[in-house]
Amino acid sequence: MIQKLRIASLIGIQFLILAHIYIFGDEIIGSLDFQEFFHAFVKYGIINAGAILVILAFVITLIFGRFFCGWACHFGAVQELSWWLLKKMGITPTTLNSSLVTIFPLFILLNFYLAPNLAHALSSPWEGVSISLGMPEIWAFLPGFVIGTLTFLVDGFLIVYFLGRKGFCRFLCPWGAFLKLPNSLAMFKVRNIGGCQNCGNCTSECPIGIDVSYEINNYGKVTNTNCTSCLVCTEGCPSSAISYKWVSPMNENFQLKHYGINRDMFKLSKIADKFQSLHSRDFLFLPLILIFGFAIDGLYGMGHFLSFGIAVIASVQVITLKEKIQHSKVRNLMIGMIFIVIIWHGVIKFSIWQGLEQFEKNKYSSAISHLERAVKMYPKSIGRFHLILGQMYMETGEVEKAMAHAIRAQNINPKHDAPVELLKKINALE
Ligand code: SF4
Ligand code: SF4
């Protein structure tokens, strides 16, 4: 019964999102995105609909745990759907465990959302706190159709196939990371009420891959900050040994070791084959995700979720290829191909970054060499880069090259005025 209610809630959320977009629009309530809390509130002191949603989720989590994630997150629902579909197809992906489950979502949260917006607020302090529920509009921070669809495909489906249960929530989600702290303090938790037979059902069925049986038998409760209060474990326990119960914070037994990374988990023989530990390979896993993620982040219009979703999947392939492909030549070829793609895009990103930086400093010779490299290697044509190259060649007196880039910029963005203006200036020189 509880799970039917939860599924109804997850389906209902999808309809509410559609109703917000297509029926109500953003006249009264604008973007309801978690990142609003950082982009609007932390940065400018603006309380908008998204910021209120985050504050509400934070307070609810302090009482009920990450209820929002288990009962109301559209992205969590997509991953549960993905798991269900794979099972229907007879595929049960192995759920991967790694220390990164604890630390990497926190890194995404701090590096991309908290730190830059906090730094902005510190350098340009708020003029006061204001309320603006209709701003920004719904799609302000959301990707377009192609990148949005790819993000759903990679982070909603592929990541479940390659990393197991709720791979995105566990390895990447910064909003889940934001709720980890209140979740560790939550008053309602799944608790051991006695009679556990160590059957392992709760661990097998937990939608987010927590070793429930280990935690309730060793800590007396589920302390894992990824617990989404979905209650699949309590409903499925054949011995009724666990219950979702309230304990006053005054009586709660808080111990730091309950929240640490524990490598003794997932050892119960009945569940061991459903999980794979990557702990011994984390030293390689972490730098690979960072290198792969930063090499492609922002290219082709990709956001952090898509870039790092691809990075996590690619990194897992590299570090587990030995188990999957016995033939060493094929294995090396695949690893080589992944690295060529990543290094190629890393050079593009470096060239764009340096090209724009040198351009800002009026160091045209260096900027031209970096940006020329970028436009030659980047499979996507970017009008802005050709426009900047055209401006720089004009300044350095290389009129033919200036003209070629200005025409290219105009062909890419025929409706923009800037290439037309540049062409007029170049023609005036001749
Ligand atoms: S499902 Fe119940 S009996 Fe089985 S391991 Fe979990 S808590 Fe123990
Ligand atoms: S531990 Fe239980 S309540 Fe928490 S996510 Fe897993 S199944 Fe759901």
Query: Per-residue pLDDT tens for 248-264?
Result: 988 888 888 888 777 78
Please report which residue ranges of 378-416 form alpha helices under DSSP H.
383-395, 399-412
Domain co-membership, 264 together with 140: yes
Task: Examine the pLDDT at 28 and tell me if it is beyond 80.
Answer: no
Q: What is the pLDDT of residue 18?
A: 84
Question: Which residue among 232, 249, 277 closes a domain?
Answer: 277
Same domain, 110 and 190: yes
Q: Which of 206, 212, 270, 271 is the best mutation target for the ligand 1 pocket, counting ligand atoms within 8 Å of the beta carbon and taking the most?
A: 212
Q: Kindly give the pairing relationship between strand 242-246 and strand 188-192.
A: antiparallel
> What pLDDT shows up at residue 205?
92
Q: Are residues 127 and 40 in the same domain?
A: yes
Closest approach atom of ligand 1 to CA 199: 4
Over the chain, what is the mean pLDDT? Answer: 91
pLDDT tens digits, 99-147: 898 899 999 999 999 999 999 999 999 888 888 887 777 777 777 889 9
Ligand 2 atom with the shortest distance to the CA of 232: 7
CB of 130 closer than 6 angstroms to any ligand 1 atom = no
The least confident of 63-67, 175-179, 334-338, 354-358 is: 334-338
Domain of residue 358 covers: 347-429
> CA 137, CA 149: separation in Å to the nearest integer?
20
265 with 414, same domain: the answer is no
pLDDT digits (tens, 9 = 90+) for 181-214: 999 999 999 999 999 999 999 999 999 999 999 9
C-alpha radius of gyration, the chain, whole number: 25
Residue 283 located in a structural domain: no
Same domain, 250 and 371: no
Burial of 252-268, coded b for 16+ CB within 10 Å and e otherwise, reads eeeeeebeeebeebbeb
pLDDT tens string 282-324: 999 999 999 999 999 999 999 999 999 999 999 999 999 877 7
407 and 262 housed in the same domain: no
Residues 269 and 353 grouped into a single domain: no
Domain-embedded: residue 207: yes
Q: State the DSSP code for 141.
A: T
Reply yes or no on whether the pLDDT at 280 is more than 80. Answer: yes
128 part of a folded domain: yes
Q: How many beta carbons lie within 10 A of that of residue 144, not counting itself?
A: 9
Task: Indicate whether 310 belongs to any domain.
Answer: no
> 51 with 142, same domain?
yes
Residue 135: its pLDDT value, please?
78
Nearest protein CA to atom 1 of ligand 2, as residue: 227
pLDDT of residue 173: 95
**For residue 168, what pLDDT is reported?**
96
Q: What is the predicted pLDDT for the residue at 307?
A: 96
C-beta 191 within 6 A of ligand 1: no
Domain check: are 256 and 379 in the same one?
A: no
Q: How far is the CA of 221 from the centre of ligand 1 (A)?
A: 12
| Ligand 2 site residues, Cβ closer than 6 angstroms | 190, 206, 208, 210, 212, 222, 227-233
Output the domain CATH number for residue 370.
Answer: 1.25.40.10
| pLDDT value, residue 265 | 87
C-alpha torsion 209→210→212→217, nearest 10:
140
Q: What is the dihedral of CA 77, 81, 83, 85, to 10 degrees?
A: 180
CA dihedral of 237, 242, 245, 248, whole degrees rounded to 10: -160
Q: Give residue-wise pLDDT tens across range 392-407.
A: 999 999 999 999 999 9
Buried b (16+ CB within 10 A) or exposed e, 293-316: bbbbbebeebbbbbbbbbbbbbbb
pLDDT tens column, 316-336 = 999 998 777 778 888 889 889
Tokens of 253: 């037994």
Give the position of tokens 């709660």.
252
Residue nearest atom 7 in ligand 2 by C-alpha distance: 206
User: pLDDT over 70 for what percent of the chain?
Assistant: 100
Pocket test for ligand 1, best of 234, 242, 245, 265 (most atoms within 8 A of CB): 242
Residue nearest to atom 5 of ligand 2 (CA): 227
Indicate the residue among 220, 251, 277 that finishes a domain.
Answer: 277
Probe target for ligand 1 pocket from 193, 216, 237, with the most ligand atoms within 8 Å of CB = 237
Instruction: Classify residue 221 by its DSSP letter.
Output: B
Looking at the structure of the chain, the number of domains it has is 2
Is residue 301 in some structural domain? no
Q: Are residues 240 and 357 in the same domain?
A: no
Residue 255 lies in a domain: yes
Q: Domain for residue 123, yes or no?
A: yes
- Cβ–ligand 1 contact at 358 (below 6 Å): no
- Final residue of a domain: which of 231, 248, 277? 277
Q: Is residue 299 part of a domain?
A: no
Q: How far is the CA of 104 from the centre of ligand 2 (A)?
A: 21
Q: Calculate the CA dihedral of residues 19, 22, 24, 28 and round it to 10 degrees.
A: 110
**For residues 207 and 12, what is the distance between their CA atoms, to the nearest angstrom?**
19
Instruction: Write down the pLDDT at residue 378.
Output: 95
Distance (angstroms) between ligand 2 centre and the Cα of 314 equals: 28
* 81 contacts 151 by C-beta, under 8 angstroms: no
